[in-house]
Amino acid sequence: MSSRLKLFIGASLLAMAATAPALAQEALLVAGYGGSTEKIIREQIITPFEKAHNVKITYVAGNSTDTLAKLQAGKDKQEIDVALIDDGPMMRAVSLGFCAPLQGVDQSKIHDVAKLPGGKAMGLGLIATGLMYNTKVFKENGWAPPTSWNDLKDPKYKGKVVMPPLNNGYGLLTVVMLARMNGGGEKNIDPGFKVMKDAVGPSILAYEPSPAKHAELFQTGQAIFGVWGSARVQSLAEAGVPVEFVYPAEGAPVVMTALCAVAKPTISPKAHAFVQHMLSAEAQSILADHAGFAPVNKDAKVQKAGMMPVGDLAKKLVAADWDTINPVRDEWNKRWVREIER
């Protein structure tokens, strides 16, 4: 064989190898939480996963209601491959057929509380819904730390209170707790709306849906008291903002973040692999130590419990009745816009 022919064959083989389908990088679309959680997932979980699995992940941030709406809008042709949303909306996503059966997850390693009905989604981490306050401002004013959901009604905080709106899990669970404390509950939400409108609403600076904006309001001192999740407040405190999280005496509703591979005619094995990785002890430890998610994997190591609902704090958690909430949640959202955020 001539040297020229050898060179030609060699160049052809290199060209074929460079374009071989086996080496093509697959793409996945993951929809999940924004703010500090997004940064942690992108940098510490997605980046190494992409390298290990030769995949490019596009991450679309939004709250759980937004992501569920995207799944509903794409029901005929889903673009999302993996969805990360709160347990209430996730149960609805499962009931609407948006989630595929779990594959390859070692469920013996997962706490029972995270095993959602139907075997199509799994809890990712536990977060408490409660109160947050600026420790510096409270100390300067000689105010005692808040202890109850009723503290949201205190007029001395007028114009300095921030909380998410009803279409966010934290906002919804606040209204549920206020309803429970005033003769109602999930099956009778009217007392919760009344307290919000008459007693809490006048003190509200903003019903803020954006985690970044919510954090900014506390960083700038515009807000000094409010409602958020334990993981969000812990992240803000670690950034140097003088804030503390409170588990109210009446109970802190638990929010379980959850995930699933989205049901499609053809589901990428790498979508299932990403779900498996998010539930691994390695990823769970990252989410615990940096995002404040109490782990659902029994083998995950937690270096700093902080404000997470673990140990004695876990005893202060209360559960919401999502079977009652989900069928009427859209109706509640519309009512909220009419009566509270007019």
In the block, which residue shows the tokens 């075997």? Answer: 119
Q: What is the pLDDT of residues 179-209, one digit of tens each?
A: 999 999 999 999 999 999 999 999 999 999 9
Residue type, 161: V
Distance of CA 90 to the CA centre of its chain: 11
Asked if 320 contacts 328 with a C-beta cutoff of 8 angstroms, the reply is no
Q: What is the pLDDT of residues 206-251, one digit of tens each?
A: 999 999 999 999 999 999 999 999 999 999 999 999 999 999 999 9
pLDDT exceeds cutoff 80 at 105: yes
Q: Which of 272, 281, 261, 265 is nearest to 110 (CA)?
A: 281
Q: Which residues pair with 227 in a beta bridge?
A: 131
- How many other C-beta atoms lie within 10 A of the C-beta of residue 50? 16
Domains of the chain: 7-125+256-304 (3.40.190.10), 127-254+320-339 (3.40.190.10)
Residue type, 253: P
How would residue 5 be classed by pLDDT, with cut points 50, 70 and 90? very low
Give the chain's mean pLDDT: 92
Q: What is the pLDDT of residues 161-182, one digit of tens each?
A: 999 999 999 999 999 999 999 9
Q: Is 215 exposed, middle or buried (0-12, 13-18, 19+ CB in 10 A)?
A: buried
How would residue 311 be classed by pLDDT, with cut points 50, 70 and 90? confident
pLDDT exceeds cutoff 60 at 314: yes
How would residue 40 be classed by pLDDT, with cut points 50, 70 and 90? very high
pLDDT of residue 45: 97
Gap between the Cα atoms of 59 and 327, Å rounded? 29
Residues present in the chain in total: 342
Helix (H) / strand (E) containing 51: helix 47-53
- Region 37-57: what's the mean pLDDT? 96
